Structures are given as C-alpha cells and as structure tokens.
Amino acid sequence: MLKLHHIGKSFGPVEVLKDITLEVKTGETLGLVGENGAGKSTMMNILGGIFAPTTGKIEFNGQAFEPVEVSESQQSGIAFIHQELNLFPNLSIKENLFISAFPKKQGFFNTIIDQKSLSSQASALLAEVGLSVSPSTLIGKLTNGQQQLVEIAKALNGRPKLIIFDEPTTALSQQETDRLLQLINSLKEKHISMIFISHNLDEVKSIADHIAVIRDGALIRMQEAEIYSKKEIIRDMVGRDLDQFFPIRSTHPTESVSLEIQDLNADGKNDLSFSIREKEVLGLYGLVGAGRSEMARGLYGMEKLYGGQVRWKGAQMHKLTPQNWIRHGVVYLTEDRREEGILAFKSIRKNVQLAALPRFIQRFGGWLDYRSIKREVSSKVKATRVKYQDLEIQPVSELSGGNQQKVLLSRWLMTNPSLLILDEPTKGIDIGAREEIYQLINQLVEQGSCVLLISSEIEELLGMCDRIMVMNQGALTAEFNRSEFDQSAILKHALKAAHD
C-alpha cells in the first residue's frame, strides 16, 4: 500500500530525515516508535502533504505519490487521527462528521442540508466504530474515548486506504484504550492499512504486525512485532541498553514533615489527610476519575476546596493560591501542558523565566536583570537536557512533546522548589526522555526537595516512590510503604469502592 524510497528531509542545514526506506502492506499495521524529535512527525507530515521530501520517492496504492497539500493526501485515501483531536465541541457529532461535505437536497428556493440523510449516514458511521450515542449529541458532552471514536468515524467517512494514528491513547482510560485497540484490529479485516505511533510499547507490540524504530532521523530497524522484544526496541530507540530504567536514589526520606494536610475536601464528599516528608517521593495512584488531579488542583488553589487545613514547614497556610505556593517553593506541573503549561508561540526563554521573574527585579529602578535571567535559563535548560536550536527566538510549539515537558520542568527549577507536585509528568513522553526526567526527580530529592508524583502507571510509581497512596472515587483507600509494594494489591484498592 505504501512504499518510502530513500526519503530525506532537510530544513536549511538541518537534516531531519535521512534515507528512510520502508513499506506498509495492505491490511497491515506498522508500529512506528522513536524518541521525541526523532523525525516521526516530519515523516507523517510528508505523507500528509504538509512538507515535500528533499530527496527520495513515495509510492501509494501502486502509484507515484507527491502530495502538495493536505486535501490532496486526504483525497488519495490517507487519513490522520491526531493526538489533538480536530473536533468542534459546540457542534453535534453529525455536524462534525460531515462538516466538510454535508448531504444536501433541493429546497423551495435553494439547496439545503438533508437532515434525514445526515442523521442516517452519521448513525451508520457510528455503528462502524461501535459508538452507541445519538448523532445529535454535542461533542463537548462526550468522553475523551468517545471523541476519539468520532474522529475515527470521521476518517472512515472518506473510505481511507491508510489511517495514521498519532498517540491515540494518551488521554484515554484503560477501558477506552482496550476498546480502541479492538477497533483497530477490526479495521484490518477491512483491508485498511495503518501506522500506529505511540510511546507505549506494550500497545505497539499488541497491535502492530511490524515495528519500525526511528532515531535521529534514520530508520534503525524494522522487525516483525512478535519477535522484536521490548528490550531490543528500547535499545534501538535510545542507542544504548537501559538496564536501570528507574535510577536508584542514594537518599531516604527524613523525619521532617514538609507538607501536612488534614481533612482536605476537594469533591464535597471526602476528607483527605496525609503528609509528605523532606526528601520523599510520595506516589498517588488511581484510575481515571479517581479524583487525584482534582485534589492536587484544589490544594494548589486552581479549583474550589470545600474545607481542610494545610501546613507547610509547620506553619498554617491561610491563602492557597499558585502565587503564594510559588513564593513558598511549592510548584505544580499540570497534566495538560498544552492548555495550561506552555506558552506555545513564545520563545523557550520566555517560557522558562515566567515563574521566577520577581527574583530578577533590580533593587534600584525596578528593571529586570535580563543578563542574569538569560544565564540562569540557559543553565536550567542544560540541566534538563532540552533539545533546541535557539533559546531567544524558537517558539516552544516547535519542540517535541518531551522537550516541551522539559521546558516546564526548567521553569520550575528556576524557582528552586522545595516541593514539586507532578501530575502525569511522563504522559506522552518517549523512553529516553522519561529516564532523564526520572534522573532529574532523583537529583532534586537528593538535594532536599520532596515530590508528590501523580501517575496512572503503576510501574512508574513502584520504580520511583518511597510511599504510594491509592485513591478511588475521591477517597484514599490504601497506603503502601516501599517494603510493602505489591502491584496487584495497589490495583485492587484502586478498584475498591470508596464505601467498602
């Protein structure tokens, strides 16, 4: 179905893709993996008609393929399911499905939308993806998983020959992810070819026929999925073996309590009480909807609290606002970096310096000391290993997801934090960047900071934490010290009803 012959792509002197040759057969799923910035997106943008290759040729469905715009790629039979869904939340499902070409009929004086045909065709598409909701439902009322299925239905409306999935499960629950993977398997039976891009290697191995690894713009290896081990994939992705994926920390929590919370009520029903000690990594686990993020956001002053007392370093906190917490050395890394974290079209320096600007106001005149700002921003970006071209002019939107996350971590390092609240810090991040973030967390803890690590990945919490708390339906259901860690027991308590 698809053949790439010696594809190369350069932006000026920067060579982004280097002599890529691979193929995808009819009805086959190719798993495409690589670190953030490896060149995966550039390769997909070439297929989508956004960029033209600098060298090489493409064959699609047996013919030469040279798309010069997105519509040409779509008309040829290539559909994209992006990580950021292209849906209008204020419109209905059926309106989103046919927004580029509504079924029409002749009215009394002019051509009008054929509402009956619109509803029936939309219902048929929803049935194809197994979504049992009314086509008149507003997109904004659907879950992330349901919206993902609508996006796939929208793609199927064009009868594609190849569908490219770019990190489709990042915002989904496990149940929604399982359902999506089942749907992808069913599309194979319709002889639709697929490219599945993901940082979740378990998902890739379960869904792909072949796996291709891209590193630094080059195809390192393409192998049958069933004989390509995770260890080999990781080695090919990062260029080395990761024998110690979760780095060992040399320090242990002290007896000194940094943060103490009593009867914190974030949902109007449950009171939460816990503490975090100096040099401790406290994990918070729960399924989607357990209330972890709501609790953290309420604590940080980003959402309403119904009650509770908070003490920081022994002193009562009377005003819970982000500004006040930052002054006390407490920072919050949001789960949604695109909407609430980065300033996408501002430079890397402006993003990193944002929270620490008050530190650089000169005593006389009130001017900002830009020389010191630039020096410290450069130092923090180097510490987090951000890959960039120009701190001053390059917008953060041009960076990969992993490097965007490192920019946010650099921002908080500028404040010399004593406590970091990290909400899903490695979501959508590649293996190599994850390891670097884990190392950075350990370094901060060894220097005296403490961390509240919120994660949906049990393995991540088991590898990084000194203690793990489990939440379900807004309540704490269990707590485990490191010597008591048991994956099945943690999952059991995460599934346990709050009233049991």
CB atoms within 10 A of CB 368: 14
20 three-class SS: strand
The whole-angstrom distance between residue 328's C-alpha and the CA centroid of its chain comes to: 29
The per-residue pLDDT for 350 is 93
| Amino acid identity for residue 7 in this structure | I
Task: State the Cα angle at 174 between 203 and 406, rounded to 5°.
Answer: 70
The per-residue pLDDT for 81 is 84
Name which of 133, 44, 67 is nearest 97 in CA terms.
133
| Residues in contact with 371: Cβ distance below 8 Å, sequence separation at least 6, in sequence order | none
Six token digits for residue 318 = 């009377």
Instruction: Classify residue 101 as exposed, middle or buried by CB count within 10 Å of its CB (0-12, 13-18, 19+).
Output: exposed
What is the C-alpha separation between 269 and 281, in angstroms, rounded? 27
Identify the architecture of domain 2-238 in CATH: 3-Layer(aba) Sandwich (3.40)
| Amino acid identity for residue 428 in this structure | G
Q: Summarize pLDDT for 201-256 with one digit per residue, the tens.
A: 888 999 999 999 999 889 999 999 999 998 898 888 877 766 567 888 889 999 99
In the chain, DSSP finds a helix count (H) and a strand count (E) of 16, 22
The per-residue pLDDT for 258 is 95
CB-based contact 54:20 (threshold 8 Å): no
DSSP-derived secondary structure letter, 278: T
The per-residue pLDDT for 500 is 45
The whole-angstrom distance between residue 446's C-alpha and the CA centroid of its chain comes to: 27
Q: Are strands 307-312 and 467-472 parallel, antiparallel or unpaired?
A: unpaired
CB-based contact 6:183 (threshold 8 Å): no
> What are the residue ranges in the chain where pLDDT is below 50?
497-500
Task: State the Cα angle at 458 between 281 and 212, rounded to 5°.
Answer: 115
Q: Are strands 450-454 and 419-423 parallel, antiparallel or unpaired?
A: parallel
Six token digits for residue 247 = 């780095």
Q: Summarize pLDDT for 9-50 with one digit per residue, the tens.
A: 988 887 889 999 999 999 999 999 987 778 888 888 899 888
The per-residue pLDDT for 201 is 86
Helix/strand/coil percentages in the chain, nearest 5: 35, 25, 40
Q: Are strands 330-333 and 419-423 parallel, antiparallel or unpaired?
A: parallel
414 three-class SS: coil
Name which of 293, 214, 272 is nearest 22 in CA terms.
214
What is the C-alpha separation between 333 and 405, in angstroms, rounded? 9
CB-based contact 409:399 (threshold 8 Å): no
Q: Summarize pLDDT for 106-139 with one digit per residue, the tens.
A: 777 788 777 888 888 899 988 888 888 899 999 9
The per-residue pLDDT for 243 is 59
CATH of domain 257-495: 3.40.50.300
pTM over 0.75: no
The per-residue pLDDT for 449 is 94
Six token digits for residue 219 = 């195809």
In which residue are the tokens 């040409």 written? 72
Phi, psi dihedrals of residue 365, rounded to the nearest 5° = 100, -20
What is the C-alpha separation between 358 and 375, in angstroms, rounded? 16
Domain with CATH 3.40.50.300 in the chain: 2-238, 257-495
Q: Are strands 467-472 and 475-481 parallel, antiparallel or unpaired?
A: antiparallel
CB atoms within 10 A of CB 123: 17
Rg of the chain taking only CA atoms, in angstroms: 25
Name which of 407, 402, 358, 419 is nearest 383 in CA terms.
407
